[in-house]
């Protein structure tokens, strides 16, 4: 029997309330939240009330996956897809192929339409929504950043932010390592994004580094190969990676649009088995939607994006699904995407999404050499999130020149005036640390708020929480409003 968890039932209730004022709503929730389960529960409730509902998916494999999951919970349904054995259009619950609806110009006789991965915005489905004003609509997405969504949807129901879901054990935390980066200096752009040809050509140049870094990290962290997915820069890059992994004795399989659907389905099903002999899958974008293998422990980012924050988020989400015994997932960043989108990711991580914003997908400023250096541990390559001079991952200690402290924007010798500055900075840090602990936020949130105020990362400060002063409370409130 399908039973929702409290945080899932909460968004169902919010959607129900939202229909009082909105015909078309978006449900935002991170990958791994269980949006499909939420959708199935809503569809089941609609059917119980003698009304009709349908969910639309834009890939054949997703149609089949969703039908199987409904069957798992004994929820009777039909499938609208060419030659599907479950074609029963009279049933109140339907699973629909977007392509089939568009090609046959089918308008389902339903009361509620659910759109999976609504940020994709297929023209035919958008027209179906606009031409049938009697339909209520729910769009599902982990990345509601695509321009134009506001032309269809008028309300966003946001799930708990990623950080809170991790703290509560519903998602898996990440250990991020900044690895050798694909150099995109001077690369050609098309509509603000690096051209596919440029990305593929440059990605090929560090294939050996990607393979050697994976071998090093999987043995350092896990003492053995662990299930991995690799986001490559193109078809040829994927095949080159597959060959290099096999030369080192590891079974990685590259899949792309050039392989037939049956081959891809078989490979993914094999990879999903707990006893699979496949160490990893390699693809450009096939694994970013509908890929649900929760025991994947390592993600490799080797496809740089200049502006597509949504693609970056989709990729991260593939390794953050919870699985029994999985305490964390590892992210090896060869693309530069993590630092490029770090501010956007931190905001999404801490606060989630509660409104649609046009123009959020735009080319990001490249981090400077110094920013990249400061962001990683020089010993293990881990993302530096520690508020102290000691790396949380490997224990490496960054040595500072004696009697030199960080102040906003520069290095200054320690004197009496600066001693007071250190005390004030420690006071502020302790107060926002106290606030974050009461809210269950990660310490990374504290570090970013400190940097937002002082322009530098907190270094050498003590982890001593103190109740916030009135001034600090007002500052926190102003930042949350902003």
Tell me whether strands 78-80 and 112-115 are parallel, antiparallel or unpaired. Answer: unpaired
DSSP state of 383: B
Number of domains forming the structure of the chain = 3
The answer to whether the beta carbons of residues 198 and 184 sit under 8 Å apart is yes
Mean pLDDT, contiguous 10-residue spans, the chain (482 residues): 90 96 96 92 94 91 88 93 89 93 81 93 91 94 89 93 91 94 93 91 94 96 97 95 97 93 90 96 87 94 94 94 94 96 91 80 86 88 81 76 37 34 70 85 82 77 82 79 64
CA dist list (Å): 236 to 173, 233, 301, 302: 32, 8, 16, 13
Residue 460 CB neighbour total at 10 angstroms: 15
The answer to whether the beta carbons of residues 286 and 256 sit under 8 Å apart is yes
Domain termination residue (choose one: 132, 159, 186): 159
In degrees to the nearest 10, what's the CA dihedral of 468, 471, 472, 475? 150
Q: Which two tokens stand for residue 215?
A: 């071998």
Statement to judge: residues 111 and 11 lie in one domain: yes
Statement to judge: residues 288 and 191 lie in one domain: yes
DSSP 430-459: HHHHHHHHHHT--HHHHHHHHHHHHSS---
Q: So what's the pLDDT on residue 395?
A: 78
Statement to judge: residues 320 and 206 lie in one domain: yes
Q: How far apart are CA 118 and CA 147, in angstroms?
A: 12
Q: What is the CA radius of gyration of the chain?
A: 24
Residue 164 located in a structural domain: no
Statement to judge: residues 155 and 177 lie in one domain: no
Statement to judge: residues 147 and 201 lie in one domain: no
Residue for token digits 């992994």?
245
Q: How far apart are CA 94 and CA 42, in angstroms?
A: 13
Q: How far apart are CA 270 and CA 466, in angstroms?
A: 52
Q: How far apart are CA 188 and CA 204, in angstroms?
A: 17
The answer to whether the beta carbons of residues 231 and 315 sit under 8 Å apart is yes
Q: How far apart are CA 412 and CA 343, in angstroms?
A: 27
Tell me whether strands 298-301 and 280-283 are parallel, antiparallel or unpaired. Answer: unpaired
Residue 103 CB neighbour total at 10 angstroms: 11
- Output the CA angle 114-120-123, nearest 5 degrees: 85
Q: Which residues contact 145 (CB under 8 A, 6 or more apart)?
A: 119, 309, 310, 357, 360, 361
Statement to judge: residues 186 and 147 lie in one domain: no
Q: How far apart are CA 285 and CA 232, in angstroms?
A: 9
Domain termination residue (choose one: 128, 159, 190): 159
Q: So what's the pLDDT on residue 374?
A: 86
Statement to judge: residues 343 and 446 lie in one domain: no
Domain termination residue (choose one: 159, 180, 209): 159
Q: Which residues contact 61 (CB under 8 A, 6 or more apart)?
A: 261, 264, 265, 268, 290
Statement to judge: residues 186 and 70 lie in one domain: no
Residue 385 located in a structural domain: no
Confidence (pTM): 0.79
CATH of the domain at 349: 3.40.50.300
Statement to judge: residues 229 and 366 lie in one domain: yes
Residue 202 located in a structural domain: yes
Q: So what's the pLDDT on residue 482?
A: 61
* Domain span including residue 240: 170-374
Please give the helix or strand (H or E) that residue 245 lies within, else none: helix 235-247
Residue 437 located in a structural domain: yes
DSSP 313-370: HHHHHTT-S--TT---EEEEESSSHHHHTHHHHHHHHHH---S--TT-S-PPPPPPHH
Residue 393 located in a structural domain: no
Q: Which residues contact 376 (CB under 8 A, 6 or more apart)?
A: 177, 178, 382, 383, 384
Q: Which two tokens stand for residue 451?
A: 């940097």
Residue for token digits 């409904």?
70
List phi, psi (to 5°) of 343: -65, -45
Tell me whether strands 280-283 and 252-254 are parallel, antiparallel or unpaired. Answer: parallel
Residue 292 located in a structural domain: yes
Q: So what's the pLDDT on residue 412?
A: 30
Residue 384 located in a structural domain: no
Statement to judge: residues 176 and 240 lie in one domain: yes
CA dist list (Å): 320 to 140, 199, 275, 466: 18, 26, 21, 32
List phi, psi (to 5°) of 243: -65, -45
Statement to judge: residues 51 and 100 lie in one domain: yes
The answer to whether the beta carbons of residues 240 and 207 sit under 8 Å apart is yes
Q: So what's the pLDDT on residue 232?
A: 96
The answer to whether the beta carbons of residues 340 and 305 sit under 8 Å apart is yes
Q: So what's the pLDDT on residue 421?
A: 40
Residue 179 located in a structural domain: yes
Statement to judge: residues 63 and 11 lie in one domain: yes
Q: Which residues contact 205 (CB under 8 A, 6 or more apart)?
A: 182, 183
């Amino acid at each position: 029997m399908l039973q929702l968890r409290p945080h899932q039932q909460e968004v169902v209730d919010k959607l129900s309330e939202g229909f009082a004022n909105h015909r078309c709503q978006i449900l935002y929730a991170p990958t791994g939240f269980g949006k499909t389960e939420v959708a199935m529960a809503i569809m089941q409730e609609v059917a119980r009330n003698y009304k009709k509902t349908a969910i639309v998916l834009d890939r054949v494999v997703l149609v089949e996956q969703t039908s199987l999951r409904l069957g798992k919970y004994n929820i009777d349904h039909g499938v609208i897809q060419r030659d599907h054995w479950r074609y029963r259009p009279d049933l109140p619950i339907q699973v629909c192929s977007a392509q089939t609806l568009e090609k046959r110009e089918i308008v389902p006789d339903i009361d509620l339409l659910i759109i999976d991965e609504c940020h994709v915005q297929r023209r035919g489905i958008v027209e179906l929504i606009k031409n049938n004003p009697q339909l209520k609509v729910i769009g599902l997405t982990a990345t509601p950043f695509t321009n134009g969504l506001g032309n269809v949807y008028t309300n966003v129901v946001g799930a708990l932010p990623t950080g809170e879901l991790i703290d509560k054990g519903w998602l898996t935390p990440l250990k991020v390592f900044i690895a050798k980066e694909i150099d995109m200096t001077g690369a050609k752009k098309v509509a603000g994004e690096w051209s596919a040809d440029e990305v593929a050509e440059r990605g090929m140049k560090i294939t050996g580094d990607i393979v050697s870094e994976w071998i090093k990290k999987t043995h350092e962290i896990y003492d053995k190969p662990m299930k991995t997915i690799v986001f490559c820069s193109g078809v040829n890059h994927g095949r080159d990676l597959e060959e290099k992994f096999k030369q080192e004795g590891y079974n990685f399989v590259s899949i792309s649009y050039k392989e037939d659907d049956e081959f891809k389905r078989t490979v993914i099903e094999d990879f999903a088995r707990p006893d699979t002999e496949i160490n990893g899958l390699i693809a450009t974008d096939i694994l970013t939607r509908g890929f649900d293998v929760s025991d994947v422990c390592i993600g490799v980012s080797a496809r740089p994006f200049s502006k597509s924050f949504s693609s970056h988020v989709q990729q991260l989400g593939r390794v953050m699904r919870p699985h029994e015994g999985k305490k964390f997932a590892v992210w090896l960043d060869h693309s530069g995407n993590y630092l490029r989108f770090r501010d956007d990711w931190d905001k999404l991580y801490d606060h989630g999404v509660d409104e649609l914003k046009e123009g959020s997908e735009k080319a990001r400023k490249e981090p400077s050499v110094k920013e990249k250096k400061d962001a990683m541990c020089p010993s293990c390559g881990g993302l530096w999130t520690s508020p102290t001079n000691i790396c949380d991952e490997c224990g490496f200690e960054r040595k500072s020149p004696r009697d030199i402290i960080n102040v906003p924007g520069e290095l200054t010798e320690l004197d009496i005036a600066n001693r007071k500055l250190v005390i004030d900075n420690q006071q502020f840090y302790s107060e926002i640390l106290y606030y974050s602990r009461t809210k269950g936020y990660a310490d990374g949130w504290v570090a970013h708020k400190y940097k937002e105020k002082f322009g530098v990362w907190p270094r050498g400060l003590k982890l001593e929480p103190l109740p916030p002063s009135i001034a600090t409370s007002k500052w926190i409130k102003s930042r949350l409003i902003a």
